[in-house]
């Protein structure tokens, strides 16, 4: 076997790349001991000629990449070494994000809760209530408020009833989202003009007019039936089908 030698975590062949050398001391002597050329230690492995900023895994080495490796990098983004022109989304440290242009030369709107936001970011990119509530002061974004189910809302466009996924939020949609919904239909929040077929709970269907102001012919087995317009195929239970004339006025 034509082996170069031990690379730190595995036995390397003579054609192995520098990145497979995972010990800093072996990396320092990689050419002499293993016959493998490298430009130096990158933090978790040796770097080969042509390595990029993202191959550097140490903040110190990233900040000194030009001096050590001849690689021009923007700097450390919180969890990785960033190249010039990197997306602000790659900055995962709030303090670095706050001064991203001064430190890295990368423009950003500011910190959104788990990552840095693009200069033209929208409210939906904010993931924490505090930042959303104070978005104007923190990010210069005029947002419409926070929703526990939908996140940070745009002021230009609020949620629709169908986008509300929790019964309690649906019941209080005017207070939580500033919109008026008919109510919860069993599996979704319904608009005031919703068709009975969207009601998927038999009890809610039975009281659809009273609770939701949605008239229905009755329960069809899987969903509510509309008066006069429902078809026999929408009835999904044998007993209801056999009694369709008496129950729904339908001749099946």
The C-alpha torsion from 84 through 87 and 93 to 94, rounded to 10°, is 120
State residue 79's pLDDT score: 94
pLDDT at 81 over 70: yes
Give the model's confidence band at 32: pLDDT under 50 very low, under 70 low, under 90 confident, else very high: confident
| 58-74: b (≥16 Cβ within 10 Å) or e | ebebbbebeebbebebb
Q: What is the mean pLDDT of residues 179-199?
A: 93
Angle at 128 between CA 126 and CA 132, to 5 degrees: 60
DSSP assignment letter at 145: E
| 201-228 per-position pLDDT tens digit | 999 999 999 999 999 999 999 999 998 8
State residue 157's pLDDT score: 61
Q: Percent of the chain beyond pLDDT 70?
A: 98
State residue 2's pLDDT score: 63
Q: What is the mean pLDDT of residues 196-202?
A: 95
The C-alpha torsion from 240 through 245 and 248 to 249, rounded to 10°, is 170
State residue 176's pLDDT score: 72
Give the model's confidence band at 190: pLDDT under 50 very low, under 70 low, under 90 confident, else very high: very high
Give the model's confidence band at 39: pLDDT under 50 very low, under 70 low, under 90 confident, else very high: very high
Sign of the torsion angle spanned by Cα atoms 101, 102, 103, 104:
positive
Q: What are phi and psi of 84, to 5 degrees?
A: -60, 140
pLDDT at 1 over 60: no
pLDDT at 230 over 70: yes
Q: Write down the mean pLDDT value for the chain.
A: 91
Neighbours of 205 (CB within 10 A): 23
| 116-137 per-position pLDDT tens digit | 999 999 999 999 999 999 999 9
Q: Per mean pLDDT, which of 3-17, 165-179, 191-205, 237-251 is the most reliable? A: 191-205
Q: What is the mean pLDDT of residues 149-158?
A: 76
Q: What is the mean pLDDT of residues 21-39?
A: 92
| 42-76 per-position pLDDT tens digit | 999 999 999 999 999 999 999 999 999 999 999 99
| 92-114 per-position pLDDT tens digit | 999 999 999 999 999 999 999 99
pLDDT at 159 over 80: no
């Amino acid at each position: 076997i034509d082996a170069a030698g031990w690379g730190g975590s595995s036995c390397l062949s003579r054609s192995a790349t520098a990145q497979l050398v995972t010990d800093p001391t072996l990396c320092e002597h990689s050419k002499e001991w293993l016959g493998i050329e490298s430009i130096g230690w990158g933090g978790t492995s040796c770097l080969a000629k042509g390595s990029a900023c993202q191959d550097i895994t140490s903040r110190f080495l990233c900040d000194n990449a030009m001096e050590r490796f001849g690689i021009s990098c923007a700097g450390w983004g919180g969890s990785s070494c960033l190249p010039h022109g990197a997306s602000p989304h790659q900055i995962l440290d709030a303090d670095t994000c706050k001064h991203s242009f001064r430190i890295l030369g990368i423009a950003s709107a500011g910190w959104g809760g788990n990552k840095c936001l693009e200069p033209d970011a929208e409210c939906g990119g904010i993931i924490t209530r505090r930042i959303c509530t104070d978005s104007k002061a923190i990010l210069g974004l005029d947002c419409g408020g926070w929703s526990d189910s939908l996140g940070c809302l745009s002021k230009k466009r609020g949620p629709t009833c169908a986008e509300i996924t929790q019964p309690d939020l649906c019941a209080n949609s005017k207070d939580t989202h500033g919109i008026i919904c008919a109510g919860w239909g069993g599996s979704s929040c319904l608009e005031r003009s919703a068709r009975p077929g969207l009601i998927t709970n038999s009890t809610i269907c039975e009281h659809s007019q009273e609770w939701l102001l949605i008239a229905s012919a009755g329960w069809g087995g899987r969903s509510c039936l509309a008066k006069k317009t429902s078809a026999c195929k929408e009835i999904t239970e044998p007993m209801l089908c056999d009694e369709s004339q008496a129950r729904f006025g339908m001749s099946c």
